[in-house]
Chains A and B, each alone.
Chain A
Amino acid sequence: MGKLILMERQMIMRQSFKLALRSIWGNKMRSFLTMLGIIIGVAAVIVLVSLVNGYMDSVIKSFSDMGANQIQVNVTNLSSRSVNSGQMYSFYEDNSNIFERMSPVVSVSGKVRNGEQSLKYTTVSGISEQYGDIKGLQLESGRSILYSDIESRQRICVIGGYVAKELYGSGENAVGKKIKIGDNTFDIAGVYQIKNKQYSESGGEDDFVWIPYTVAVKIEKNANIGDYLFTVRSVSKANDGVILIQKFLMDILKNKDLIRVMAMSKILDSMNKQMAMISGLAGGIAGISLLVAGVGVMNIMLVSVTERTREIGIRKSLGANKGAIMQQFIIEAAVTSSIGGIIGILFGCGVTAAVGKAAGVTAHPALNAVVIAFGVSVAIGLFFGYMPARRAAGLNPIDALRSD
């Protein structure tokens, strides 16, 4: 008996699908206008979410190029309790499973000069041999600072592409020349490539002079180094790294106000959260248009029920019960909105690609937006189709038969 009912349901459902398609095809203009709301709504959700995602992806990518795996450490050394670079190095070596590189960073003051020419905003830092790799810079000519330079406190330096260009004309020209930092003279051992030609400017990423940190400590007369830069082996280890460093420093300094440990990935995390919020907001705004489209579907379905009152009466006289009538109208609403949803997806993907290309954003249609937009459009069909369907099912067969 149950099997029979199931079979009957399936057959009626198949017929309902066929009828729905035929009714949509039979009223092409009306169906298209009904779907238009859904098409625009679905396309808007996809385009907005995809473009926002694409744009934010590129922002985050350029940000993570800058070093999502970096952890900046700043300690305030007291005369009674302090951390020296030797302790930091042994801590770093003990945890080499998490940390990939480490460098002390010592700020050096003093104007950078070559003869009469000087630069105003050049950053001068004392660093270790790993610093270039941490920053992700490539040598253009000469060599980098080596471990032996640090050990033997060589008065050599490496300079950024901007400095080389401004003071020596080119990188090749600069290598082997002398440069003055304040009152101290250094030999230029190497020159780094300009990272971003567009943004190579005074005080920019390429406006730097690096010297061995051991030399910097001596010049600055710093007893202990306050700043360190770590990198972790993968971004996912950043949190563990932060916790480890904090614990290590707390054990020595006993005061968390003296310790500042910041993972770049944390900033990235908050950016990611913001991005999710923005794209959710954009999707939500577009989603409102889907809701409006749903009201359109309901409106048309109500018209359809009124128009087809007689058909409903005939079907009832032939043995259709409320459930069968209701199913027919709900399926019709769902099929209408699904077709609208599919067209909207295609349209939205096309517009995303076109606008992305025009705006220079690599935007791929966001899969979640596609799935959600389609799901919502079907759900809207079912939801807003329900009321008209119920009205249809509730029609009295006699009244329905009498109507013209």
Chain B
Amino acid sequence: MVKLGNKKKDCTDSELIKLDHIYKIYNLEGEVVYANNDVSLSIEKGEFVAIVGKSGSGKSTLMNIIGALDVPSKGEYYLGGEPVRDMGDKQLARIRNEMIGFIFQQYNLLPKLNIAENVELPLLYAGIETAERKERTRKALEKVGLSDKWRNLPGQLSGGQQQRVSIARALSGDPSLILADEPTGALDSKTSRDVLDFLKQINEEGNTIIMITHDNTIALEAKRVIRIADGKINFDGKADDYAAIL
């Protein structure tokens, strides 16, 4: 088991994520594809970063690497000071569990579990005992304003509500990083607004957020924007500066 908890405290600098010359190379029927081509970046605690790019730009590959769902072909990725490259299944699973809260475009709630059970899942895999698990689940649902719906199945809620459940699930494990993949992609503009405001709010409360999007206007909601094209970073700066070049 990785003692991530201790490592986090040992890490004196505020750097949460460091990508050092990351390559992700696929070999598709003899044709070599560089999904990520020499990507280096650093994200500090408390930041709200949007990674923007067209489909096929390599932003999803980058998200997978940052989310410890995938490992780079070349280069080093440090999460909380810990190199991820040589980790096995168990360590990667634990990193995803303890350090990362995912929010997906399609919410990705388990349809047969009720809302509370969905929110509880990361805590279950973390091995948190029942009483504390229930308490943290309740708090997370309260935070997104759905504590009265805990018994409902995801299918009984609206899209916006489902996305709020998935945010509650991402928050329940108290992760170092919230990784949101097109969080508003399936929502109408009104509920998109709500979700974005909510993300901003939890960022204000100290959570680090990385949001992946193809939409420049959504990207501008973040404090910092990183633009990916053809597997490379071609912009990395403040949202205001990004707005200026559009």
Segment with Cβ contacts to A, from B8-16, B121-129, B192-200, B220-228: B121-129
Which chain A residues lie closer than 8 Å to B1 at the CB level? Answer: 1, 5
CB distance from B142 to the nearest CB of A (A): 20
Q: Is the CB of A318 within 8 A of B96?
A: yes
Q: Count residues on chain B whose CB falls below 8 Å from chain A CBs.
A: 29
Asked whether any CB of chain B lies closer than 8 Å to the CB of A19, the reply is: yes
Q: Is the CB of B69 within 8 A of A397?
A: yes
Asked whether any CB of chain A lies closer than 8 Å to the CB of B188, the reply is: no
Q: Which of B98, B108, B110 contacts A319 (CB 8 A)?
A: B98
Which chain A residues lie closer than 8 Å to B31 at the CB level? Answer: none
Asked whether any CB of chain A lies closer than 8 Å to the CB of B190, the reply is: no
Asked whether any CB of chain A lies closer than 8 Å to the CB of B104, the reply is: yes
By DSSP majority rule, is chain A's interface helix, strand, loop, or mixed?
helix
Asked whether any CB of chain A lies closer than 8 Å to the CB of B89, the reply is: yes
Interface residues on A, range: 20 to 34
Q: Is the CB of A317 within 8 A of B69?
A: yes
Asked whether any CB of chain A lies closer than 8 Å to the CB of B94, the reply is: yes
Asked whether any CB of chain A lies closer than 8 Å to the CB of B70, the reply is: yes
Asked whether any CB of chain B lies closer than 8 Å to the CB of A101, the reply is: no
Which chain B residues lie closer than 8 Å to A11 at the CB level? Answer: 124, 127, 129-130
CB distance from B112 to the nearest CB of A (A): 6
Segment with Cβ contacts to B, from A137-145, A182-190, A230-238, A320-328: A320-328
Which chain B residues lie closer than 8 Å to A8 at the CB level? Answer: 125-127
Q: Is the CB of A19 within 8 A of B93?
A: no
Contact A319-B129, Cβ < 8 Å, known A11-B124, A314-B110, A397-B69: no
Q: Is the CB of B169 within 8 A of A318?
A: yes
Asked whether any CB of chain B lies closer than 8 Å to the CB of A398, the reply is: yes
Q: Which of B94, B102, B122 contacts A321 (CB 8 A)?
A: B94
Asked whether any CB of chain A lies closer than 8 Å to the CB of B67, the reply is: yes
Interface residues of B in 93-126 (CB under 8 A from A): 93-94, 96-98, 102, 104, 108-110, 112-113, 121-122, 124-126
Q: Is the CB of B67 within 8 A of A317?
A: yes
Asked whether any CB of chain B lies closer than 8 Å to the CB of A26, the reply is: yes
Q: Is the CB of B127 within 8 A of A320?
A: no
Q: Which of A311, A323, A324, A401 has the most CB of B within 10 A?
A: A401
Additional 8 contacts, C-beta under 8 A, given A317-B69, A322-B89: A5-B127, A12-B124, A318-B125, A319-B126, A319-B173, A321-B89, A321-B93, A396-B70
Interface residues of A (CB under 8 A from B): 1, 4-5, 7-8, 11-12, 15, 19, 22-23, 26, 310-311, 313-324, 396-398, 401
